[in-house]
Amino acid sequence: MAISPPTYVRAWDNPNDAGGAIRISWHLSADDSIIDGYEILRLAEGEKEYQPIGFIGKGRNCYTDDETKDGLRYQYRVSAVKDTIRSYSEPSNFAQSSAQWFNTDRINVLIFTAIFIFLILWFITQAKRGTRLFVRRIAGLAAVEEAVGRATEMGKPILYVPGLSTVDDVATIAGLNILGEVAKKTAQYDTKLIVPNRDPIVYTVAREVVKEAYTQVGRPDAFNPDSVYFVTDSQFAFAAAVDGIMTRENPATNFFMGYFWAESLIMAETGASTGAIQIAGTDAVMQLPFFITACDYTLIGEELYAASAYLSREPLLLGALKGQDFGKAIIIGVLLLTTLLALLLNLPVLNLF
């Protein structure tokens, strides 16, 4: 039995890559429906024979050879395969692979990034010049002061968990900033503060943040170095330890500010059972439902980032917040505009992204 070969085999450098890859395409064999698939063969410059380099299922008409040497010329043939029968195409054109210095597929990312960077820098400069920037009230934040006050009245400690993630996580940064503000208040009221950590670097930074806060309000002597400590980097061992702290030390207020995983509710529900006031904030979307049900106040997603700007009243941070708001307005605008264009004029707007 004879099967007809694939035809019109072409080869060219794979675009936007680090080199080392050539793309090959062909027109399907007329017997595509009955064959096993296509075998791709390659002849490198200076070699005598075609070597099989890959195999792909029927109905497919392109393949990427990602084991080429840059600068070397290659020629390809494709054969239709059924059991032991092979039917070879004509050889392709010569092609060579090369590395690119810029990924043109990502030019849209570059443009979007440039716009947002510009926006944020613009508003930060505005803030530096002294333009007054408004930030609306965020519900959970008003409770921070009250919560610290309550702990002082009751003579009980405050527990602060700056999330379980690493220091390069934005939620952790926000959590540490808010920790600084909370620590200033505990320093003023002389309330005991407990900060257990799951990441060693976050622990180091948290310790400095708290120490600095105590110094800033003029109470460096009141800082207890043992109040900020590392527990373990194992998620559930950490949760077990925090549960233990909550039931034994009986804090009046628990803060959970940062990034959390499944342990969120293990800690928050234990905290609720001890009768503590609980304020949570996270951008971990999966955990927000649990914090919302088990805590008294929850900063949802971006509110956590806004909180550190809001509490510190630092103009530069407020400026960036305004820039973010503009970014959101642009996204809404783009969404609505492209949808309108697509529905009314049937323009291929998805190619923009």
Distance of closest approach, residue 51 Cβ to other proteins, in angstroms: 15
Report the C-alpha gap between 251 and 156 in whole angstroms: 6
- Phi, psi at residue 272, to the nearest 5°? -65, -35
Q: Which one, 34 or 93, has the nearer CB to other proteins?
A: 34
Distance of closest approach, residue 163 Cβ to other proteins, in angstroms: 13
Q: Which one, 93 or 142, has the nearer CB to other proteins?
A: 142
Q: Which one, 88 or 349, has the nearer CB to other proteins?
A: 349
Q: List alpha helices for the chain, DSSP H.
A: 107-128, 139-154, 170-189, 200-216, 235-249, 263-273, 288-294, 302-312, 315-340
Q: Which one, 254 or 270, has the nearer CB to other proteins?
A: 270
Q: Which one, 36 or 93, has the nearer CB to other proteins?
A: 36
Token representation of residue 87: 């039917």
Closest CA to 311 of 213, 159, 178: 178
Distance of closest approach, residue 4 Cβ to other proteins, in angstroms: 18
Distance of closest approach, residue 2 Cβ to other proteins, in angstroms: 19
In contact, 25 and 92? CB cutoff 8 Å: no
Distance of closest approach, residue 282 Cβ to other proteins, in angstroms: 10
Report the C-alpha gap between 69 and 13 in whole angstroms: 11
Contacts 24+ apart (CB under 8 A), 104-112: 104/15, 104/16, 105/15, 105/16, 106/16, 108/352, 108/353
